Amino acid sequence: MPNLLRFTRLGSPAVLAFWLVACSPPFNWRELRPAGTLLQATLPCKPDDAMRRVPLAGGPTDMHLSGCDAGGATFVIGWAAVPVERLGAALGDWQDTTLARAGIPSGPDAPVGRPFQPPGALALPQSVRIAATGRAPDGDTLPLQAAWFATAGSDGAPAQAFFAAVYRAPDAPDAADAFFAGLRLR
């Protein structure tokens, strides 16, 4: 509790929103620190993990995903080791693929994102957060909030590209903002 008071005294709306949403029953917020990354994330439920090899920025890449369902939405984080010189291209490819799978136009017709740079992330033009509505495979509308960001790595961790998304609208209006505010690189 002393730490919560210290953060709220600092006036961080994101921290306050996180704690308010954390009290809602469908959300059981927990910290996740994927091994081999500098990522620290806060998820509203216990995640399932997956890994698959995908083409990203001109080469096969092992993409790791952790995700779970809570409060009517799916929360996902992803990461992949990418050479530093390909980080921007990897984020761009990842954005295009994510939007295409959600039935949202990419390229020049893509929704305009706003810069997204959690603490410790690189300032890349492809580091953005978007909100858009696409189509799920069953034809239903699919609200999507997603962000992409990267780190050059340090302390033995390689350069990595990251992805975070909330598919569908969570029951608690502040849950998506709390999720994105909980992303940081240590």
pLDDT tens-digit profile of 131-143? 999 998 888 999 9
pLDDT tens figures, 65-112: 999 999 999 999 999 999 999 999 999 999 999 999 999 987 788 788
| pLDDT for position 25 | 59
Enter the pTM of the model. 0.84
Q: Residues 102, 156: contact at Cβ < 8 Å? A: no
Inform me whether the pLDDT recorded for 57 exceeds 80: yes
Q: What's residue 103's pLDDT? A: 92
pLDDT tops 90 at residue 144:
yes
**Tokens 């809602």 -> residue:** 24
| Segment holding 5, helix H or strand E | helix 2-9
CA neighbours closer than 13 Å in the CB half-sphere of residue 172: 22
Number of residues that make up the chain: 186
CA dist., res. 60 & res. 8, Å (int): 44
Confidence at residue 165, expressed as pLDDT on a 0 to 100 scale:
98
CA distance 90 to 28: 32
- Identify the DSSP state of 121: -
SS3 103: coil
Q: Which CATH number fits domain 2-185: 3.40.1000, 3.30.1490, 3.90.400, 3.40.50?
A: 3.40.1000
Q: What pLDDT score was predicted for residue 157? A: 72
Q: What percent of the chain has pLDDT over 70?
A: 85
The predicted model gives 157-175 an average pLDDT of 92
Phi, psi of 162 (to 5 degrees): -130, 155
Average pLDDT of the residues in 17-23: 45
Residue tagged 């696409």 (tokens): 134
